[in-house]
Chain A
C-alpha cells in the first residue's frame, strides 16, 4: 500500500519552494509568540491554555492542515501532471494512502511538535498541558490531512473551501452557535487533550471521548476512502 516513489514526489512537492516557507513560518510564529509571552510576564496554566487552545489549536493546526493536505494532491491535479502518475501501474488507493501518510507526517511535524515546544516554553509541561495539546494537535492533523486531501480531489478551489471551513466554521460559527462546535475536528481532538491533561488542567471539550475518537477515525478513514474513489473515477478537467 505504500509507494516509495509517490511518497518521494509528494514530499518534494510539499517541502519545495514557497509552500515550505509558509509551513515553516506558522510554527515559527507560534514559538516566537510563546517566548515573547514568557518574557513579558508570569505565565500560569490558564495563560498557556489560552495561547495553545485559542491560537495554536484554533489557527495554526487547521492552517497547516489546509496547506499540507491540499498541497499533497491539489497542484498536481491543477497543472494536469497527475495524469502521468495515474497512468503508471500503481493502485489508485495506494497513491492516496501514500500521499495521505506523507501529508499526515508533514502536518504532525509542523503542528504537534511546535505546539509541544510552545507549551513547554510557557509553563514547562505542568499539568501535562503541553503534552495534552500536542496529542490533540497530532490527532487533529491526521483528520485534517484526510479531509483536505479529499477536498483537493473534489474541487479546484480546495484551498478556499478549506480556509472557509477552518476560519468561518470553526472560529465564527463555533463561537456563536454551540451546535457547530460538536461538528468540528478541533473539538473532537480536544477530547484527547482532556484525557491526557492533568486533573487540574481543566481542558474541556464539547463532545465525549468515545464520540470524539470515533468521529476522528470516521473522518480520516472516510476521507481517504472517498478520495481514492474520486481518483479511481478521475476525469480530466477541461478549461474553466
Chain B
C-alpha cells in the first residue's frame, strides 16, 4: 500500500449517496475511503522501535511482565549505588570498580535480562503469526529487522549505561578528579554501546529461530554463558601453563570475553583475564574484526530469516 491517498480512483465522498461509483461496482454498501494523512514507512518504523523498546521494560504491558525486567534492573543498579556509597564514605581516592569492569563483572545479570527480553521481542510475533500482518503495512523486511535490532540494543544500552551513570555521578559526589572521571565515563558508555549492539544481535538471531519463548530463553543463556565459562576455565589452565599469548587468543571464543578484551585495549580498562595482560596488536585487530563481523553477520542472518515472512 502506498503512502499517498488514492487520488486517481473514484472516491465515495461523504456527501454523495452510495451507488454513484463506477459501473464495475456490483454492490456498494457505502464504505468510505480513508483520505486523511498517511504517516508512511518512517512513522511505522519509529513506532515499532518505540513499542519494542518500551516492551523490553514491560512498559505498556501487564504488571506481571514488568516484574522481571524491573527486578533485574534493580539488581544491576543497586551494587553500583553501594560502590558509590562506599567511595563517598571512605573518602577513597578512586572507585574500587572501574566503569568498564562493572559492566563485565555484572555479565550474568545482563545475560539473564537479554535472554528474557530478546524472545519477547521477536518470538511472540512468530508464535502468534503476526509477522505477515507487519509486512502488510508499508514497512519492509529491513525496517522490521532494523527496528527490532535497534530496540533490543537500546534496551541493553539503557540497562548497562544507567549503572555506569550512577557510578559517574557518585564519583563526582565523592569529589574525584573531574577530567579523569569524565573520560572514563565516556569510554564506559562506548563500552556499553559495543556490548549492547553485539549482544543484541546475537540474542535476536537466536530468538528469531524459534517461536517458543522458553526454548529461546534457554538457548540464549546457553549461547552467552557456556562459551564464557569455558573460555574462563581454559584461560586459567593456559595461564598456569605459562602460555600467555594463548590467553588473548582464547578470549575470542565468547562474546563476553570479546568485549572484555576489546575494552581493555581500546577503552582504557583492565581486563578480567587471568594474567591481566594487554592484547598484542595482532590480537587487537582480530578482536575488532570479529566484533564487526559478528554484528554485521547477525544482522544479515536476521534479514535472511525474515525473507519468508509466512511463518
How many residues of chain A have a CB within 8 Å of chain B? 29
**CB-CB < 8 A to B112: which residues of A?**
160, 163-164, 167-168
B5 contacts A by Cβ under 8 Å: no
In the complex with contacts A59-B225, A159-B218, A51-B233 CB distance below 8 A: yes
A46 touches B240 (CB 8 A): yes
Q: How far does the Cβ of A66 sit from chain B's closest Cβ, in whole Å?
A: 8
B236 touches A41 (CB 8 A): no
B233 touches A50 (CB 8 A): yes
A54 touches B233 (CB 8 A): yes
A63 touches B226 (CB 8 A): yes
B229 touches A58 (CB 8 A): yes
Q: How far does the Cβ of A35 sit from chain B's closest Cβ, in whole Å?
A: 13
Classify the secondary structure of A's interface with B. helix
A55-74 residues with Cβ-Cβ distance < 8 A to B are 55, 58-59, 63, 66-67
A6 contacts B by Cβ under 8 Å: no
CB-based nearest B residue for A48: B237
Question: With A and B bound together, what is the CA distance between A172 and B229 in angstroms?
Answer: 11
A147-193 residues with Cβ-Cβ distance < 8 A to B are 157, 159-160, 163-164, 167-168, 171-172
**CB-CB < 8 A to A217: which residues of B?**
none
B229 touches A59 (CB 8 A): yes
Classify the secondary structure of B's interface with A. helix
CB-based nearest A residue for B231: A55
B109 contacts A by Cβ under 8 Å: yes
B221 contacts A by Cβ under 8 Å: yes
B217 touches A33 (CB 8 A): no
Across the interface, B232 reaches (CB within 8 A) one of A42, A54, A167, namely A54
B158 contacts A by Cβ under 8 Å: no
B109 touches A168 (CB 8 A): yes
A30-51 residues with Cβ-Cβ distance < 8 A to B are 33, 37, 41-42, 46-47, 50-51
B228-268 residues with Cβ-Cβ distance < 8 A to A are 229-230, 232-234, 236-238, 240-241, 243
**CB-CB < 8 A to B237: which residues of A?**
37, 47, 50-51
In the complex with contacts A41-B241, A159-B214, A55-B233 CB distance below 8 A: yes
B207 contacts A by Cβ under 8 Å: no
Q: How far does the Cβ of B149 sit from chain A's closest Cβ, in whole Å?
A: 23
B192-238 residues with Cβ-Cβ distance < 8 A to A are 214-215, 217-218, 221-222, 225-226, 229-230, 232-234, 236-238
In the complex with contacts A50-B237, A172-B108, A160-B217 CB distance below 8 A: yes
- Bin chain B's interface residue count: 20 to 34
Q: How far does the Cβ of A23 sit from chain B's closest Cβ, in whole Å?
A: 12
CB-based nearest A residue for B225: A167
B184 contacts A by Cβ under 8 Å: no
A29 touches B108 (CB 8 A): no
B116 contacts A by Cβ under 8 Å: yes
Question: Using a Cβ cutoff of 8 Å, how many contacts connect chains A and B?
Answer: 69
**CB-CB < 8 A to B222: which residues of A?**
22, 63
Question: With A and B bound together, what is the CA distance between A24 and B218 in angstroms?
Answer: 15
A18 contacts B by Cβ under 8 Å: yes
In the complex with contacts A159-B217, A164-B112, A172-B108, A55-B225 CB distance below 8 A: no
Across the interface, B229 reaches (CB within 8 A) one of A42, A46, A54, A163, namely A54
CB-based nearest A residue for B226: A59
**CB-CB < 8 A to A54: which residues of B?**
229, 232-233, 236
B111 contacts A by Cβ under 8 Å: yes
CB-based nearest A residue for B217: A160
**CB-CB < 8 A to A63: which residues of B?**
222, 226
**CB-CB < 8 A to B225: which residues of A?**
59, 167
Q: How far does the Cβ of B278 sit from chain A's closest Cβ, in whole Å?
A: 23
**CB-CB < 8 A to A168: which residues of B?**
108-109, 112
Beyond A41-B243, A46-B240, 17 extra complex contacts between A and B, CB < 8 Å: A22-B218, A29-B230, A37-B234, A47-B241, A51-B233, A54-B232, A54-B233, A54-B236, A59-B225, A59-B229, A78-B214, A159-B214, A159-B218, A163-B115, A163-B218, A167-B225, A168-B108
Residues on A lying within 8 angstroms of B by beta carbon are 18, 22, 26, 29, 33, 37, 41-42, 46-47, 50-51, 54-55, 58-59, 63, 66-67, 78, 157, 159-160, 163-164, 167-168, 171-172
